[in-house]
């Protein structure tokens, strides 16, 4: 049922003109029925009393009200728990203080107080450390023990070391401008007597042990200019055990930090070539390097350690860039130079309304492969990914893509560096047999624009990249033959020159790593390489 529509309000006495109604006053008196109301109330109109208005509040009520009207105090659930004493700290143990006024001093532990603090003393007569409280977090426990069975420490508690609170006197107007010198508070005589009584008994036990008094009073244990007089605690580890511990580190930054802590550990790292082993573990391609060339260090061990430590830093932290410099050769080219391999270095798909791409020669066999060889920007670099853009013919029906079925990548160097200025592109010759490929990737399926992320960063020693295109999928309608076409190629990675480079010797085909520490320092501190941190550089003590 449809809802009833409300009738619009209509005035009972509409205006004929402004200020003049249609009906007279007497007419409206009868029309409104006022006569009936008046007759009902004895000839008088009823009067209604005015409603009482609430009094305004004296204070403005708050805008927000609390959720709980009655405040309830929160219960403190924290319970005082006694501090547990370390197992290595027992009464009579000689401790080394690590912080505070007596940092580096050796002290004797007497007992643990109720607050959890340790009660220690030098004794004061031997090394100047009085009876005092020390937090066990700031001490090192040694294996040296002192017999304290005759020392009475029952009277010492936390209240014994408390300070008396004195009320400060209010300064008058005259004392405000003329401040009187405050007298220094002297130690009470009873505390001096307590120190002497503890020292007397304790020194008897110390003198009973040979060289113990000298051990406790021999200055502080810490770093100073005369480092040779101090003991390297890491030497307590046997060399085999220390080598086994250091060999477990899988980050060269941690290995550098460990070698900077101790000369003993540094000698183990350098003599066992741990930095080189870690480099070879992460980048197996570096195994062909036979020796390092660096003129600033005569010692071969230190030189190799610095070179491989810096090399690992460069391989993992140098900024990434495009690493292809020039094309070398293509296994075949259809229309040279219009469809040359040189076009693959231009990121544009077309130039002057013409496609920019490399095209192979046509083949009746779809299994025929093609190769493209490029020279990288440095003979030592690390490649992380390769981008390959196959050509799509927009001028043909259905816009076919002339891609391969699979793609494979290789890195290597020439077999011989002599007379390598031959122009293979101009001669349209394949240069595959002129190279030694030290790395071959797995097969990647390829049918569109793809980013081929290598499973692990690969070090290219020699500076040459080969892209092998396996299988063909598209025929050209004009001659019904299979073609492979590539529009653009990119190799992304880190180039290490001029800080690092490799040098090949022809007779024995050995590889030398050339390291320039000055160039490496400039590369680390330069503006474009601001993300590198110099705190992890190798340091030789």
Res 232 pLDDT > 50: yes
Distances (CA, A) of 470 to 383, 393, 447: 21, 20, 11
The answer to whether 474 and 408 are in contact (CB under 8 A) is no
Q: What is the mean pLDDT of residues 410-433?
A: 76
Cα separation, 469 vs 432, whole angstroms: 13
Choice between 335 and 397, residue whose per-residue pLDDT is larger: 335
CA-nearest of 385, 470, 373, 350 to 431 is: 373
Res 330 pLDDT > 50: yes
Confidence (pLDDT) at 535? 39
Res 342 pLDDT > 70: yes
Confidence of residue 533 (pLDDT cuts 50, 70, 90): very low
Cα separation, 359 vs 520, whole angstroms: 41
Cα separation, 390 vs 407, whole angstroms: 11
Q: What is the pLDDT of residues 84-112, one digit of tens each?
A: 899 999 999 999 998 889 988 999 999 99
Mean per-residue pLDDT over the chain, rounded: 82
Give the rounded distance of the alpha carbon of 231 from its chain centre: 35
Res 117 pLDDT > 90: yes
Res 438 pLDDT > 80: yes
Confidence (pLDDT) at 508? 56
Q: β-strand 289-293 against 510-515: which pairing, if any?
A: parallel
Strand locations in 232-285, DSSP E?
Answer: none
DSSP state of 95: E
DSSP assignments along 294-357, one per residue: -TT---HHHHHHHHHHHHHHHHHHSPPEE-EEEEEEES--SSTTTT-GGGGG---SEETTEE--
The answer to whether 540 and 319 are in contact (CB under 8 A) is no
Helix (H, G, I), strand (E, B) or coil at 538: coil
Confidence (pLDDT) at 419? 60
Cα separation, 114 vs 142, whole angstroms: 23
Task: State the CB neighbour count (10 A cutoff) for residue 113.
Answer: 18
Q: What is the pLDDT of residues 175-212, one digit of tens each?
A: 555 555 555 678 889 999 999 999 999 999 999 988 88
Q: What is the mean pLDDT of residues 58-64?
A: 79
Choice between 78 and 165, residue whose per-residue pLDDT is larger: 78
Confidence (pLDDT) at 537? 41
Confidence of residue 523 (pLDDT cuts 50, 70, 90): confident
Q: What is the mean pLDDT of residues 292-296?
A: 78
Choice between 231 and 445, residue whose per-residue pLDDT is larger: 445
Confidence (pLDDT) at 531? 40
Cα separation, 502 vs 289, whole angstroms: 8
Q: What is the mean pLDDT of residues 332-343?
A: 87
Instruction: Calculate helix-pair angle for 300-317, 252-261, nearest 10 degrees.
Output: 140
Confidence (pLDDT) at 298? 60
Confidence (pLDDT) at 230? 52
Q: β-strand 510-515 against 500-505: which pairing, if any?
A: antiparallel
Give me the phi and psi of 214, to 5 degrees please.
Answer: -65, -35
Helix (H, G, I), strand (E, B) or coil at 172: coil
Cα separation, 454 vs 468, whole angstroms: 15
Tell me what percent of the residues of the chain surpass a pLDDT of 70.
86
End-to-end, the C-alpha distance of the chain in Å comes to 99
Task: State the CB neighbour count (10 A cutoff) for residue 123.
Answer: 26
């Amino acid at each position: 049922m449809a809802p009833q529509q409300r009738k619009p309000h209509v005035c009972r006495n509409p205006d004929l003109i402004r200020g003049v109604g249609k009906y007279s006053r007497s007419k409206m008196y009868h029309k409104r029925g006022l006569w009936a109301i008046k007759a009902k109330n004895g000839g008088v109109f009823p009067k209604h009393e005015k409603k009482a208005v609430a009094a305004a509040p004296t204070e403005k009520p708050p805008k927000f009200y609390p959720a709980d009207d009655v405040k309830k105090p929160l219960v403190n659930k924290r319970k005082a728990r006694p501090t547990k004493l370390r197992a290595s700290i027992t009464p009579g143990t000689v401790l080394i203080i690590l912080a505070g006024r007596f940092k580096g001093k050796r002290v004797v532990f007497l007992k643990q107080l109720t607050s959890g603090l340790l009660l220690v003393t030098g004794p004061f007569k031997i090394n100047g450390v009085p009876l005092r409280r020390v937090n066990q977090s700031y001490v090192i426990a040694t294996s040296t023990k002192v017999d304290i069975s005759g020392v009475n420490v029952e009277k010492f508690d936390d209240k014994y070391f408390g300070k008396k609170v004195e009320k400060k006197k209010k300064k008058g107007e005259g004392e405000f401008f003329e401040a009187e010198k405050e007298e220094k508070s002297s130690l009470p005589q009873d505390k001096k007597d307590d120190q002497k009584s503890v020292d007397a008994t304790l020194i008897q036990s110390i003198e009973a042990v040979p060289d113990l008094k000298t051990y406790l009073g021999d200055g502080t244990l810490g770093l100073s200019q005369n480092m040779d007089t101090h003991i390297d605690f890491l030497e307590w580890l046997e060399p085999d055990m220390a080598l086994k511990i250091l060999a477990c580190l899988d980050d060269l930054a941690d290995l550098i930090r460990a070698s900077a802590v101790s000369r003993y550990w540094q000698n183990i790292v350098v003599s066992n070539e741990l930095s080189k082993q870690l480099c070879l573990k992460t980048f197996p391609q570096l195994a062909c390097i036979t020796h390092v060339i660096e003129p600033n260090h005569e010692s071969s061990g230190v030189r190799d350690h610095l070179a491989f430590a810096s090399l690992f830093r460069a391989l993992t932290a140098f900024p990434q860039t495009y690493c292809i410099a020039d094309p070398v050769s293509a296994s075949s080219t259809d229309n040279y130079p219009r469809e040359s391999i040189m076009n693959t270095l231009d990121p544009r798909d077309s130039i002057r309304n013409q496609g920019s791409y490399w095209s192979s020669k046509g083949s009746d066999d779809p299994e025929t492969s093609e190769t493209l060889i490029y020279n990288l920007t440095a003979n030592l670099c690390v490649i992380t990914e390769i981008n390959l853009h196959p050509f799509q013919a927009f001028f043909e029906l259905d816009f076919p893509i002339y891609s391969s079925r699979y793609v494979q990548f290789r890195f290597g160097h020439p077999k011989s560096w002599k007379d390598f200025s031959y122009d293979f592109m101009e001669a349209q010759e394949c240069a595959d047999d002129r190279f030694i490929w030290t790395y071959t990737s797995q097969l990647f399926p390829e049918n569109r624009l793809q980013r081929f992320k290598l499973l692990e960063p690969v070090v290219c020693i020699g500076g040459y990249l080969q892209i092998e295109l396996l299988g063909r999928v598209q025929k050209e309608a004009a001659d019904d033959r299979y073609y492979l076409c590539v529009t653009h190629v990119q190799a992304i990675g880190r180039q290490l020159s001029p800080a690092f480079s490799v040098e090949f010797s022809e007779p024995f085909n050995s590889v030398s790593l050339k390291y320039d520490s000055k160039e490496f320092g400039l590369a680390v501190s330069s503006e474009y390489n601001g993300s590198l941190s110099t705190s992890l550089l190798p340091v030789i003590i």
